[in-house]
Amino acid sequence: MSKETIKAKADGRNGQIDFDIDLDGNHIDDVKVTKSAETSAIFNQVFDKLKNSVIDNQSFDVDAVSGASLMTQAMLDSGKKALEDKDIELAKPEPKEHREIHLNVDVAVIGSGMAGLMAACRALSMGKRVVVLEKNGYFGGATILNGSNVVGTGSKVSAKLFGKTAKEDSPVLLVKDITRECKGTNYTMLSNLLANNIGRAVDFITEFANLKYQKAETQTVEHSVNRQIEMPSESSYELITKVVKAFEEKGGKIILDARVEKLNKNDTGVLTSLVAEGKNQTVNVKFKSLVLAAGGFGAKDYKEHTTDIPYYGPMTSTGDYFNFAKNMNLVSRNLNWYKIYPHGLEVEPGIAKLTTYSTKEVGDMGAIFVNKAGKRIVDESAPYTHFRDAIAEQKDKVAYVVMDQKMWDRFYELMLKYGFNKDEVQGYFDLDGKKSPVLVKGDLKTAAEKAGIDYATLKESLDNYEEDVKAKYDPEFGRDPKFLHAYEGDTYYIIEQKLSFCTTLGGYETNDQMQLLDTAMAPVANFYASGEIIGGANGRDSMPSMMNSWSYASGFVAGTSAADNANYNHSGDEKPIDVTSGASE
């Protein structure tokens, strides 16, 4: 028997994936990735699952991972071809038998993002039997892409981290900030629910999953006091994996590749069970309470061209509940509301990746924002909504951040920290400004010409800005003098910035117990919800950290309400589950 390593390449979502296949004769010993531009928080999960499947079955003829099927199928196909090219034949695995799973629980939760996990952990902590159903082959939903940043208003965690400063914050002040930022478009009941429960939620999950928080590296200007906290790694991947581990160790159950397709009612029209489907399984769940935490519907609107704003969220945010929950007659509102960020690169037509942390940082270092004509367009240290509105006012809806070498080094450092990799960024520079995303460098004239910006006007804008720095006064936009810093050297970087969205801000309606309402505005028995699918708490413009905060607070309340409901709901105890009756259509 001889050992060898076969090299393979596959096309991922963000570029080429290189991987090695370690063989001992015709036996697959290992599969190791050597290069990838994929989002690590998702890729790490799906690759481990894919690798284990390949090794366990000794074949690349296995199922792709749900929610990452294009990427994982590409790896399976290229792995299989790489072996065939070396005349290495492996036996095909036996087809998996389709299995039927029947569960009887107190609380079922749809979705494994933080809103769903918070609800599930809370209900489990109250002594309930809980199952989480996740349609993807990995945990985390959209949360996995959002970072771990939340507000700690009213929490013991914040009191410890911020000391006396924490006393400057309060639920009332948080609601005031929310209302100001969204210009009064928020729903006060939900905003109060968020503000009054986020501290409890933070303290609860900290103890439940043995989490450790720190002051967030960036305390954004939208918040009137320092209240933002995050995991030490700043990663939602760390958050999700620790919470999942604690949930399962304490007796909770999570089923992946379980796409809910039917909600069933009993003879009296009350919701009592559901059916979920996977590649090789049908899951039938009978419950006393159901929590819908299935995320947003941004990918659905992107694919249906409901909006022309580039989308940076997960392609799994498809709003499946608009189909499987049809028979529940739920009331919705503001389905055309999106959380629009101005800091994004359109990495392929209609698809964006955020540079929010990078752009915020270099704005405070003195970088300026200009349009195609080379004119400054905004106070670069203002809240992100000012950037958003300034970019939206441009004819082409594009702006450019102009940096010196020092600014670029920090911008680049944060790009690598938040979702980009070196090869990916270099690939953008290799485009030389000929198409989006535009990332160029050189002396000012060279960089301006590559970016298609009027050089004479750009130089004038920079000259005027240098005078503002010397005078410590910005007459054009009133930028705070502490952010007026001179450019250094003669190398300039110009980076394109476009509007983009991930989060949907509209959705279904609930009462103050997070119980869903029907079109008659009546609570739906046994049915609760949390997270992105419930719109209104943050209005039309949420502050940084607030969508994560909404997932915490709404999940905490929904889990509490669902557990309480299970205490006195005995409607599901009499009969075995009937998977055909009352199915949604």
pLDDT tens digit sequence for 285-312: 999 999 999 999 998 998 898 988 998 8
Per-residue pLDDT tens digits for 247-286: 999 999 999 999 999 999 999 999 999 999 998 999 999 9
Task: Tell me the one-letter amino acid at 348.
Answer: E
Q: What are the backbone dihedrals phi and psi of residue 152, each rounded to the nearest 5 degrees, phi first?
A: -110, 20
Q: At residue 41, does pLDDT exceed 80?
A: no
Q: At residue 583, does pLDDT exceed 60?
A: no
pLDDT for residue 210: 97
Per-residue pLDDT tens digits for 69-119: 888 888 889 888 888 888 887 877 878 889 999 999 999 999 999 999 999
Chain mean pLDDT for the chain? 91
Q: What is the DSSP letter of 482?
A: G
pLDDT for residue 48: 87
Dist CA 288 CA 274 (whole Å): 11
Q: At residue 24, does pLDDT exceed 90?
A: no
pTM exceeding 0.85: no
pLDDT for residue 571: 57
Q: Find the length of the chain.
A: 585
Q: At residue 234, does pLDDT exceed 80?
A: no
> Please, which pLDDT band fits residue 179 given cuts at 50, 70 and 90?
very high
Task: Tell me the one-letter amino acid at 260.
Answer: V
Alpha helices in 169-235 (DSSP H): 171-181, 188-208
Contact 571, 288 (CB under 8 A): yes
Structure tokens at 105: 């629980």
Dist CA 304 CA 481 (whole Å): 45
Q: What is the dihedral of CA 92, 93, 95, 99, to 10 degrees?
A: -170
What SS3 state is found at 534?
strand
Contact 3, 24 (CB under 8 A): yes
Contact 71, 93 (CB under 8 A): no
- Cis-peptide, bond into residue 437, ω within 30° of zero: yes
Per-residue pLDDT tens digits for 389-405: 999 999 999 999 999 99
Per-residue pLDDT tens digits for 59-71: 888 888 888 888 8
Q: At residue 122, does pLDDT exceed 80?
A: yes
Chain centroid, CA 140 distance in Å? 8
Q: At residue 574, does pLDDT exceed 60?
A: no
Structure tokens at 118: 């918070």
Mean pLDDT of 166-185: 96
Q: What are the backbone dihedrals phi and psi of residue 66, each rounded to the nearest 5 degrees, phi first?
A: -55, 140
Sort 516 into a burial class: Cβ within 10 Å, 0-12 / 13-18 / 19+: buried
Per-residue pLDDT tens digits for 484-522: 999 999 999 999 999 998 889 999 999 999 999 999 999
Q: At residue 458, does pLDDT exceed 80?
A: yes
What does the angle CA 575 – CA 135 – CA 33 come to, to the nearest 5 degrees? 145
What does the angle CA 155 – CA 159 – CA 165 come to, to the nearest 5 degrees? 120
Residue with tokens 């209302």: 179
